Structure 1
Amino acid sequence: MDFFDEDTLVIDCDRCQVRGDACSDCVVSVLLGAPPEVEWDSAEQRAVDVLAEAGMVPKLRLVPGTPARRRAG
């Protein structure tokens, strides 16, 4: 059974439509070195948004190709 938590952002770099072109100024690449997939809960998303708004890190540049779904594990 698949589970999707609306408060969790799944960032799958392999599915990003602008991968390669936008990686150099994407917060994921700056903070984590472009891993294949990252999950941020709502608090982590807000924290990254605050850092980006303050100009401390780039904004998330993710443009998903297909909706990411969390796999049951």
Structure 2
Amino acid sequence: MSFATPLPGPDGDPLVVDCDSCVVRSPGACGDCVVSVLLGPPQDVVALDDAERSALGALADSGLVPPLRLMTLDDPPTHRDAS
């Protein structure tokens, strides 16, 4: 998923970031992911609510932080953006 585009997940439900399920997980991808930039490499699942997703999206859209690079096998192809 990328914060430059609408995030997957129903409105009102937290977006759960489980880095262990990310199909692009690697030192290169994780080092340029907003989760690692803001929190350091996570040791556990990260949950973001709508307000947090919106704030991170605004930061990513303005170039202040990288987008979230999480992609899981459950994501529809339109949300798989590892760019």
Shorter-chain TM-score: which interval? Answer: 0.7 to 0.9
Answer yes or no: is the 8 Å Cα contact 1:28–1:60 preserved in 2.
Answer: yes
* Structure 2 residues not aligned, in runs of 5+: 1-8, 76-83
CA RMSD of aligned residues (A): 1.7
Q: Kindly, what percent of the aligned residue pairs are identical? A: 52
Partners of 2:30 and 2:22 in 1: CA distance:
10
Larger radius of gyration: 1
Aligned length: 63
**Structure 1 partner of 2:64:** 56
* Structure 1 residues not aligned, in runs of 5+: 68-73
Amino acid at match of 2:62: A
Q: Runs of at least 4 residues of structure 1 off by over 2 A?
A: none
Answer yes or no: is the 8 Å Cα contact 1:15–1:66 preserved in 2.
Answer: no
Partners of 2:31 and 2:73 in 1: CA distance:
19
TM-score (norm 2): 0.68
Superimposed CA distance per residue, residues 7-44 of structure 1 (whole angstroms, 9 cap, x where no aligned partner)? 31000001100111410110001001121310000000
